[in-house]
Amino acid sequence: MGIDSHTDAKVSIVKDLKAPSDTHKYSYKNVITSVQERLKKKNIKLGYDSGFTQYVLNLIIDFYNIKQNPKYSYEHVIGNQHSFTYSQQFVDFIVTEIEKKPQKFVES
């Protein structure tokens, strides 16, 4: 590859590689705990008797197709095993969405 200032073709130079352990540091259980803590801190009561649980997180992951969005999830593949970790942006996204309509969030 060469660089030519007289061409219309654009090239982006990768300056920074980031480790998934830094960008997607939340396990499934840590997402639940973090969201629960943030909702409690903001005094937001989810309109679902059990609160923010695995059930609610699974609904979010499926509804928003989170596992296909690299901004929110990272798939780890070791042999035949697949697992996911999640980003801070995902936790922020969940809290922001719940804040909009906490009483109707799960229902909707």
3-state secondary structure at position 105: coil
Q: What is the pLDDT of residues 54-84, one digit of tens each?
A: 999 999 999 999 999 999 999 999 999 999 9
| Chain CA centroid to CA 107, Å | 21
What share of residues in the chain are helix, strand, coil (percent, to 5)? 40, 10, 45
Q: Work out the mean pLDDT of the chain and round it to a whole number.
A: 87
Banded model confidence at residue 20, pLDDT cuts 50, 70, 90:
low
pLDDT of residue 104: 87
Banded model confidence at residue 6, pLDDT cuts 50, 70, 90:
low
Please say whether the beta carbons of 73 and 86 come within 8 A.
Answer: yes
Extract the runs of DSSP E, i.e. beta strands, from the chain. 73-78, 81-86
